[in-house]
Amino acid sequence: MGLGVALIDFKCEVLDRVDDPHNFLHGLLPPADEESHQLLAKIDWYGDTYFNYLQMKIFLDEWDQLARRAQTPEERTLLDEVRRLALRCQKDREILRFIGD
């Protein structure tokens, strides 16, 4: 099972969610020791990782770099859907939560 990505509000209510049942993100996200990705490399595969709206500028810059690695239409669709959540997070001042196994 891959990561889940949820847009949540300050009460931890899920507003929207994208799942990665084929575990595409595992092959696309940078490893934890990757220095060029200060946020994406810190996503915890086995726990939850939270990003707030103040981090979205850097997150989106890194996500757009990551999108260049996508090779299949399914990977591109998944990355686009997560990007959509990140943009909502930034605009609506919500929280983006990566849900690990």
- DSSP designation for 30: P
What is the Cα–Cα distance from 86 to 57, expressed in whole angstroms? 9
Prediction pTM value: 0.94
> Which segments within 55-94 are labelled E, that is strand?
none
What pLDDT, on the 0 to 100 scale, is given for residue 19?
Answer: 97
Average pLDDT over residues 24-41: 90
Query: How does pLDDT run across 33-69, given as a tens digit for each residue?
Result: 888 889 999 999 999 999 999 999 999 999 999 999 8
Q: Measuring CA to CA, how many Å separate 101 from each of 67, 69, 91, 94?
A: 23, 23, 28, 23
Across residues 3-13, what is the average pLDDT?
Answer: 96
The overall average pLDDT reported for the chain is 95
**Contact by Cβ (8 Å): 28, 75:** yes
